[in-house]
């Protein structure tokens, strides 16, 4: 009987059920640890949601801060420049450009010199063509022996010479066409051929049977009647902060208008308010308590959550404006704190403030962005309060995991001990039952006392 493979088979006891009930009691400490870990995991998830909302707020706050070397006024100013007749050209402007309008007239475009020649004698031997454009460096182009006009073209294009070469056929003649890469009257083409290749030589003073198909020319335009020239069709010196790109010639005129727009203040502030409200709603949800159902949220009463909420609310009432400015707080720009903890913008009040004192508004918003960015960084940064809280809980969970692992090993030993004890009891009961059955059988064979007397 000692070798029973099914506990309780000999005695009739349900040993597996008994062990299961005993282990259910023994496992209570483990279950308690598992519940505690589950609650900590829920807190980490909730703190992760909080950190995500705060990180979004931090990013939005950073968007309010001007880049290093840029003023708040520049950040929130968009300067635009445009042609009245867009077929004549376009323009771009920086914030250094003054708002206003200019008359552009008598536009001519810059041109690159183009020369052509046909019927050139190509020697059988090798040689070089030295090509120079304007005051640029002379570039030697090696011509191989037995060259064709096509191979000469290809050699020129493969070199660093500041020209492009092409072959054009008019039906009877092949023309070698050279076009300077750069426009302007100073960027003339010069070609010097080595011995045998003199026929390819060209300069404006010695055309050598080359034809100047397109003379080099500067771009020119009158700005409010003042002539302005450029070697290219891009002019950036005529009006401070404005770059003009000419695309079409005209003997008439058009208007160049430069305007300034501060609309980015409203869009930037609205983006910040949206991020703040999202963070506020997240905080409220994570710390809510339902008095009717008496149900708490994951972080109800959590000190870190309360600290974050309190800090953000306090920041709203902080003065961010320049010293001496009448505009100090976000409320001065029409931003109000609602009863539910969210912000609301009065666009009319903001527009009035921008119209009356744009620079002070820009400085205030930039100051608010800096303060919120730094404050939230102290919450979600590598050593921030929320980050530290998450790391602390993770450390606690790690300890709980170690305790659970130890308990599980202990429970396995306890279960094994119970199983051994109940197996031994099972064997003993089975033996006793067997002995009882044998004794009963033996007794049944013994004659009764009455039978003996007969």
Q: Taking 60 as the threshold, does the pLDDT of residue 2 lie above it?
A: no
The CATH code that applies to domain 114-214 is: 2.60.40
Residue 11 binned pLDDT confidence (cut-offs 50, 70, 90): low
Q: Taking 70 as the threshold, does the pLDDT of residue 58 lie above it?
A: yes
Q: Taking 50 as the threshold, does the pLDDT of residue 243 lie above it?
A: yes
Tens of pLDDT, residues 122-138: 999 999 999 999 999 99
Q: Taking 90 as the threshold, does the pLDDT of residue 48 lie above it?
A: yes
Out of 15-19, 36-40, 339-343, the most confident range is 339-343
- Position 9 scores a pLDDT of 47
* Mean pLDDT over the full length of the chain: 91
Of all residues in the chain, what percent carry a pLDDT higher than 90? 70
Tens of pLDDT, residues 367-417: 999 999 999 999 999 989 999 999 998 898 898 888 888 888 988 898 888
HEC profile of the chain:
CCCCCCCCCCCCCCHHHHHHHHHHHHCHHHHHHHHHHHHHHHHHHHHHHHHHHHHHHHHHHHCCCCCCCCCHHHHCCEEEEEECCCCCEEEEECCCCCCEEEEEEEEECCECCEEEEECCCCCCCCEEEEEEECCCCCEEEEECCCCCHHHHHHHHHHCCCCEEEEEEECCCCEEEEEEECCCCCCCCEEEEECCCCHHHCECCCCCCCCEEEECCECEEEEECCEEEEECCCEECCCCCCEEEEECCCEEEEEEEEEEEECCHHHHHHHHHHHHHHHHHHHHHHHCCEECCCCEECCCCCCHHHHHHHHHHHHHHCCCCCCCCCCCCCHHHHCEEECCCCCEEECHHHHHHHHHHCHHHHHHHHHHHHHHHHHHHHHHHCCCCHHHHHHHHHHHHHHHHHHHHHHHHHHHHHHHHHHHHHHHHHHHHHHHHHHHHHHHHHHHHHCCCHHHHHC
Q: Taking 90 as the threshold, does the pLDDT of residue 32 lie above it?
A: no
Q: What is the mean pLDDT of residues 210-222?
A: 97
């Amino acid at each position: 009987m000692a070798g029973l493979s099914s506990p309780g088979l000999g005695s009739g006891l349900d040993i597996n059920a008994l062990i299961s009930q005993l282990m259910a009691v023994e496992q209570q400490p483990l279950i308690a640890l598992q519940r505690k870990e589950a609650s900590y995991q829920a807190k980490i998830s909730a703190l992760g949601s909080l950190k995500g909302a705060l990180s979004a707020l931090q990013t939005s706050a950073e968007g309010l801060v001007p880049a290093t070397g840029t003023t708040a006024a520049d950040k929130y100013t968009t300067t635009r420049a445009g042609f009245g007749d867009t077929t004549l050209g376009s323009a771009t402007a920086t914030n250094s450009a003054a708002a206003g309008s200019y008359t552009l007239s008598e536009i001519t475009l810059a041109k690159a010199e183009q020369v052509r020649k046909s019927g050139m004698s190509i020697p059988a031997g090798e040689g070089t063509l030295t090509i120079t454009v304007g005051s640029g460096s002379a570039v030697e182009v090696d011509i191989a022996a037995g060259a064709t006009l096509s191979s000469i073209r290809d050699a020129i294009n493969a070199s660093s010479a500041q020209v492009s070469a092409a072959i054009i056929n008019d039906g009877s003649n092949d023309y070698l066409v050279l076009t300077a890469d750069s426009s302007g009257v100073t960027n003339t083409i010069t070609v010097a051929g080595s011995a045998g290749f003199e026929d390819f030589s060209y300069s404006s003073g010695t055309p050598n049977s080359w034809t100047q198909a397109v003379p080099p020319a500067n771009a020119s335009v009158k700005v409010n009647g003042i002539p302005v020239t450029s070697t290219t069709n891009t002019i950036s010196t005529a009006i401070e902060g404005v770059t003009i790109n000419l695309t079409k010639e005209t003997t008439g005129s058009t208007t160049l208008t430069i305007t300034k727009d501060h609309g980015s203040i409203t869009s930037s502030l609205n983006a910040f308010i949206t991020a703040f409200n999202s963070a506020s709603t997240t905080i409220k949800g994570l710390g809510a308590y339902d008095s009717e159902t008496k149900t708490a949220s994951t972080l109800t009463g959590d000190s870190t959550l309360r600290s974050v909420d309190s800090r953000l609310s306090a920041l709203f009432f902080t003065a961010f404006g320049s010293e001496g400015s009448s505009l100090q707080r976000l409320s001065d720009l029409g931003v109000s704190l609602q009863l539910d903890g969210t912000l609301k913008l009065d666009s009319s009040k903001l527009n009035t403030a921008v119209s009356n004192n744009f620079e002070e508004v820009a400085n205030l918003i930039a100051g608010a962005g800096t303060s919120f960015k730094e404050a939230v960084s102290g919450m979600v940064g590598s050593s921030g309060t929320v980050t530290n809280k998450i790391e602390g809980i993770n450390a606690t969970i790690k300890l709980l995991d170690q305790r659970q692992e130890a308990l599980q090993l202990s429970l396995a030993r306890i279960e094994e001990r119970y199983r051994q004890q109940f197996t031994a009891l099972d064997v003993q009961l089975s033996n006793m039952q067997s002995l009882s059955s044998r004794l009963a059988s033996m007794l049944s064979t013994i004659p009764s006392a009455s039978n003996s007397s007969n």
